[in-house]
Structure 1
Amino acid sequence: MDNRDLGKRFDEVFQKMDRAYERYARSCGMTYSSLALLQLIWERQPCTQKELCALTMLPKQTINTIVMSFYKQGLLEMLELPEDRRRKSILLSDRGRELAAQILPKISRAESRSIQQFSPEEKETFFRLLERFSAAFCEELNG
């Protein structure tokens, strides 16, 4: 298999997974980006928009649009930071925690059950190769 075929196969695999996340997000009435952000806030709260931008690599405007939408829906609380009143600490509200508790566990279960189909040796090999690929890719692309 030549490099072009490998690249195509790699893209197909990851796009298939991305489409699965996107379909699930849509079934929950969300976009893929908003679902990813909800999960990140759930896992990392309290956090700031700046931290969310750094963790997701989404544009600042996209993060702000989603955060403000969540806030208007009553899913978030935003508290001024004492050291800089212009910045806000973002936390899920009771309603936001309820929503997250309804939809996020399905993702975790799917990821966990998918990896559980591998033997212990396959899991170790899978992660070792994925980490090796990631390190090599980052080095090749960014030096």
Structure 2
Amino acid sequence: MWAVFSVYLIFDYICENDGTSQREICAYTLLPRQTVNNVINALISQGLLRLEGSRHDKRVKRIHLTDAGERYRQQVVTPVREAELQAMAALEPNERRAMIIYVDKFMNALERRIDGIES
């Protein structure tokens, strides 16, 4: 389950941030570098992503969707994102506000714990 969620989270981030780097994905997702690297390599081998050297720093590889990746985005990511929006719309405004507050609190606590692991 976590592996599928990690793949979705990483792929979704790339869809919204074309030309991102693995470092940026790690910072956003809070996933370990090795996990991000493994997912990126798997998606490249499936023909969904391609790497391109950065114009500013050749050591940094920028991640882009391929044409197949864009089709996958339309078939999988877009419907999931639409389902998320519909689920959120089913909540009352006060429920949405409460959820956002608690998720934010949880993410801040999780980030502190993860930072503690990496220290």
TM-score over 0.5 for the alignment? yes
Which deviates further from its counterpart, 117-126 or 102-111?
A: 117-126
Give 1:102's aligned residue.
Answer: 75
| Structure 1 residue 91 corresponds to structure 2 residue 64 | yes
Other structure's SS at 1:31 match: helix
TM-score (norm 1): 0.65
How many residues align? The count is 113
Amino acid paired to 2:4: T
Which deviates further from its counterpart, 110-119 or 69-78?
A: 110-119
Give 1:59's aligned residue.
Answer: 32
Which whole-Å CA distance do the structure 1 matches of 2:45 and 2:27 have between them? 23
Instruction: Spell out the pairing of 1:107-122 with structure 2 (5 A cutoff).
Output: 107-122=80-95
TM-aligned CA distance change 1:41 to 1:125, over 3 Å: same
| Structure 1 residue 32 corresponds to structure 2 residue 5 | yes
Determine what percentage of the aligned residue pairs are the same residue: 26
Name stretches of at least 5 consecutive residues in structure 1 with no aligned partner.
Answer: 1-21
Which deviates further from its counterpart, 110-119 or 35-44?
A: 110-119
Which whole-Å CA distance do the structure 1 matches of 2:97 and 2:88 have between them? 11
Higher RCO (C-alpha under 8 Å, 6+ residues apart): 2
TM-aligned CA distance change 1:120 to 1:57, over 3 Å: closer
Which whole-Å CA distance do the structure 2 matches of 1:98 and 1:64 have between them? 22
